[in-house]
Amino acid sequence: MDVTTALQKFRELQETSHAYSHALGVLYYDGATTAPAASAAGRGRTMGTLAGIHYDLTAGEETIKLIDFLKAHLDELTDVQKREVTYFARDLEYTASIPKEEFVAYQVLLNDAEDVWRKAKNENDFDAFAPYLEKIFDTNRRFAGYYKPDMAPYDVLLNTYEHGLTMAQCDAFFAALREKVVPLLEKVVAAPKPDTSFLQGHFPLEKQRAFSDRLMELMKIDRSRCAIGETEHPFTTGFNNHDVRITTHYHEEDAVSSMYSVIHEGGHALYDMGSADEYEYTCLAGGVSMGIHESQSRFWENIIGRSEEFCALVLPVLQELFPENFANITPEQLYKAVNKSEPSLIRTEADELTYALHIMVRYDLEKALMEGSLTVKELPAAWNAKMKEYLGVDVPDDARGVLQDTHWAGGMVGYFPSYALGSAYGAQMLAKMKEDLDVSALISAGETDKIAAWLEEKLWRHGSRYDPDELFLRCCEAPFDPKWFTDYLTEKFTKVYNLV
Amino acid sequence: MDVTTALQKFRELQETSHAYSHALGVLYYDGATTAPAASAAGRGRTMGTLAGIHYDLTAGEETIKLIDFLKAHLDELTDVQKREVTYFARDLEYTASIPKEEFVAYQVLLNDAEDVWRKAKNENDFDAFAPYLEKIFDTNRRFAGYYKPDMAPYDVLLNTYEHGLTMAQCDAFFAALREKVVPLLEKVVAAPKPDTSFLQGHFPLEKQRAFSDRLMELMKIDRSRCAIGETEHPFTTGFNNHDVRITTHYHEEDAVSSMYSVIHEGGHALYDMGSADEYEYTCLAGGVSMGIHESQSRFWENIIGRSEEFCALVLPVLQELFPENFANITPEQLYKAVNKSEPSLIRTEADELTYALHIMVRYDLEKALMEGSLTVKELPAAWNAKMKEYLGVDVPDDARGVLQDTHWAGGMVGYFPSYALGSAYGAQMLAKMKEDLDVSALISAGETDKIAAWLEEKLWRHGSRYDPDELFLRCCEAPFDPKWFTDYLTEKFTKVYNLV
């Protein structure tokens, strides 16, 4: 085999691999948004078959040989080709390190665990879920050991979602956050609460759907590339840079819950749509890590969407669609209402200030479970103790406690820190952006496309060309520092709550 | 290889083949209903890749060897296994008879032809489409020759959609229809027309969507297995008997256009959902032919949906949703209005009586084109002459003439007769059904599930276990005879139009 032939084969492999991912993605999306209820078993069967073929394709012997050959000839490749090979090899090496029968057994376990978790959550029955959770953590520990026997298992997992991330970095990051956020939150809790009563009422679905379209318009999202659907839990999925889907969940009694879901998922979608054409149908297409992805979604949701300027921009739309609730509301009232902060039980409903504390609880527990210093049996009590410690709240039951998130049931151990990291990345990006743009003025003028253009240039167009730390460095021209985030939070919440 | 191993391999092959069909089906459905506009190219690329892999899987050398082995051991198989092998072999032999590069070139041609046809139709420009149409007919003639060199090419094509069907049978069928329908239509044309003015008005989409749900309720369609979407042209697609999708097209000014689409597609869906579990994930799952499929859709649309009893059943729903139009309408007025018959230009809008005449035009022309007695160049003039001869109408332009249907652009030559055959099958099935059930009373009582149960027992549950002629014989206990259909039409339209 010569290098040209190998590259040709590698390109075909990536295209075929993409076709399977695309099909599996559409099957999943269709299942979540459109498919009739009884279709799950048949879809599971088809997805299982295709996922198995996809596994053999991307981690089979022939592929291992091909990638080994290309790795032995890296010197003859362009920089982009080198990155393609090493990036592809990472997933391959992880997957290939796991015996196939264990890999398949794990997929079956996750499939069952999802159902068991849902039921356990509904019935507030942690014991029913515990054996599955134990197996999931055990399997993750074992798999991490197969892949990188010399690395701490939890570091291996953190790397899956944010390449290069370590526990040492997370510890420092969360310590810095805790130091600033906890005293800030204490002041916020002691201050008078903003009025949020006008956010509640009756908001018919049809009007909320129209509102979603208007929000996407304000974000300048190209609708010919981005569709919106409805699901229990909002999410984004992209098949290529011309085909991205977001979903939201409408609550008839609440106008802003779906609003911030649409803006958050819209941020993910913009990132996916901004990936350069040159990387399409290769492994470098699309976002590089969950941390960078969350930085974009949370940038749009919080930094833009919960800014004073955006509140002024969106208020006339709210007044037009829901005059009963918003006719007499000022931009400042809206701004304060959507930034109301208070310790609460549920992560997905947490405000910008307390959100990271919810993540810290999960980080501490995941870390302890992976290190073996905590058992699954002890987990509910440990959860409740951490919630009390960081947020000062008493957890009334496991359904609103340790069972609330789907991540662990889905095998996503090590994912949570990306949410907090993403928020913090975004604050530092904002500071950098302000060197080039008058961000406030652009939002006020509705010229969010200029903000998007900056993000596209610095981040989106690069797809997975650079690892997250390198991409961040290229964008911000400085290493990541959580002080930008804590400064941002301090300034914002001091203002919202008139603190001294 | 022993037979047990071969059967095991064959079962796996069918399951894998089904997974590809399922994925391709969902990609197509998603593209037609949900996907953003700019997603077409990426989806085409993925579908092309997967279709190529699917082709290699179902028509590749290894599969040919496997099927040859099983065919040599048919004596050792059960009846169902024999049928699986011979039924699977039919498609395989057809596909394998075509050189792969010609097969692929044809897919590319069809892909382009679809776009060219759409444009040609919009711009009333037959000449733009003619070269594509010529290639499509040429290719079909050539492929038919590869597959069955000793058979007339058009017979080969008719067999693709209705196994066992010949030109001789079609000629006799259409002659019998013509003999009865043409004089009946003359009387209808001379009679006073029923009032249909109340069918026009303003029918908001949201209410029409609710109406679709009510119609599916009246048809006792299990919504946990059947979803409804919206597309330009209504269609049905089924992935397994627990996952069927229908679509409709809403016209804001017309209440019954979508109503009859929903009932028609609902009939297809019931057939797909009725296929027995034992055949799932094998090649025997789902409907056996287009003729039988259309017999079910047109049975529900016309025989049930356009009956006096069903009109009485659905009228209160129309009155509830659209009181402005229907408050003062009687069941008899509705019945007469939805059965208004008159010669027209467009097949898809034709009534039950004139519909078969539209099919005859297409049948005659396809036959002549395949035999070589007509050229594509001569086609528009020939179309117009046939329309004048059978329906007495003057075709004003090709857009409303020879360019109106998508079938030929899609390569579906030989498909049209199934529509007329299906209608006629249905009338004979009705006669047989009446020996067991009081059909009128059941519709009046809203007990359409008992009608469905009869059809399920006689037809649906058998999936593709029997060829269409055998299935028909098992259901009706008599060979197909068009007299049941002409009698049915004569009786119905004599009544609707008070003819003597």
- Nearest Cα residue to A133 out of A369, A431, A469, A451: A369
For chain B, percent of residues with pLDDT exceeding 70: 100
pLDDT tens per residue across span A176-208: 999 999 999 999 999 999 999 999 999 999 999
For residue A111, pLDDT beyond 90: no
Rounded CA gap, B37 and A242, in Å? 9
Extract the tokens encoding B407. Answer: 């079938």
Q: What is the mean pLDDT of residues A266-274?
A: 98
For residue B451, pLDDT beyond 80: yes
Rounded CA gap, A89 and A71, in Å? 9
pLDDT tens per residue across span A350-409: 999 999 999 999 999 999 999 999 999 999 999 999 999 999 999 999 999 999 999 999
ipTM: 0.92
Extract the tokens encoding A125. Answer: 């029955």
Q: What is the mean pLDDT of residues A281-289?
A: 97
Q: Where are the alpha helices (DSSP H) in B322-353?
A: 323-326, 331-338
The CA distance from B32 to the nearest CA of chain A, in Å, is: 12
Q: Provide the strand spans (E) within B391-430.
A: none
Q: Which H/E stretch holds residue A90?
A: helix A79-96
pLDDT tens per residue across span B227-254: 999 998 899 999 999 999 999 999 999 9
Please answer whether residues B218 and B447 qualify as being in contact, where contact means their C-beta atoms are separated by less than 8 angstroms.
Answer: no
Please answer whether residues B329 and B315 qualify as being in contact, where contact means their C-beta atoms are separated by less than 8 angstroms.
Answer: yes
Rounded CA gap, A476 and B256, in Å? 60
Rounded CA gap, B48 and B110, in Å? 12
For chain B, percent of residues with pLDDT exceeding 90: 95
CA dihedral B252, B253, B256, B258 (to 10 degrees): -30
The CA distance from A221 to the nearest CA of chain B, in Å, is: 12
For A124-500, CATH gives 1.10.1370.30
Sheet holding B226-230, edge to edge: B226-230, B243-248, B236-240
Rounded CA gap, B93 and A284, in Å? 41
For residue B108, pLDDT beyond 90: no
Q: Residues of B with CB below 8 A from A24's CB?
A: 23
Q: Tell me, yes or no, if A43 comes closer than 8 A to chain B by beta carbon.
A: yes
Q: Tell me, yes or no, if B41 comes closer than 8 A to chain A by beta carbon.
A: yes
Rounded CA gap, A301 and A293, in Å? 12
Please answer whether residues B495 and B187 qualify as being in contact, where contact means their C-beta atoms are separated by less than 8 angstroms.
Answer: no
pLDDT band at B476 (very low <50, low <70, confident <90, very high): very high
pLDDT of residue B300: 98
CA dihedral A155, A156, A162, A164 (to 10 degrees): 70
- Nearest Cα residue to B106 out of B117, B120, B95: B95
- Nearest Cα residue to B363 out of B301, B434, B418: B418
Q: What phi, psi does B229 have (nearest 5°)? A: -125, 180
- Bridge partners of A228, per DSSP, are A246
Length of chain A: 500
- Bridge partners of A244, per DSSP, are A226, A238
Probe site for chain B from A16, A22, A46, A236 (most B CB atoms < 10 A): A46
Q: Residues of A with CB below 8 A from B239's CB?
A: 39, 42-43, 46
* Domain parsing of chain A, residue ranges: 3-96, 124-500
Residue B252, Cβ density class (10 Å: 0-12 exposed, 13-18 middle, ≥19 buried): exposed
pLDDT band at A234 (very low <50, low <70, confident <90, very high): very high
Q: Do A23 and B50 touch (CB under 8 A)?
A: yes
pLDDT tens per residue across span A293-306: 999 999 999 999 99
Q: Tell me, yes or no, if B492 comes closer than 8 A to chain A by beta carbon.
A: no
For domain B125-500, give its CATH number from 1.10.1370.30, 3.40.1280.10, 1.10.3720.10, 3.80.30.20: 1.10.1370.30
| A226-254 per-residue burial string, b: 16 or more CB within 10 A, e: under 16 | bbbbbbeebbbbbbbbbbbbbbbebeeee
Please answer whether residues A39 and B242 qualify as being in contact, where contact means their C-beta atoms are separated by less than 8 angstroms.
Answer: yes
Beta B243-248 vs B236-240: how paired, if at all?
antiparallel
C-beta neighbour count of B386 within 10 angstroms: 21
For chain A, percent of residues with pLDDT exceeding 70: 100
Annotated catalytic residues of A are 265
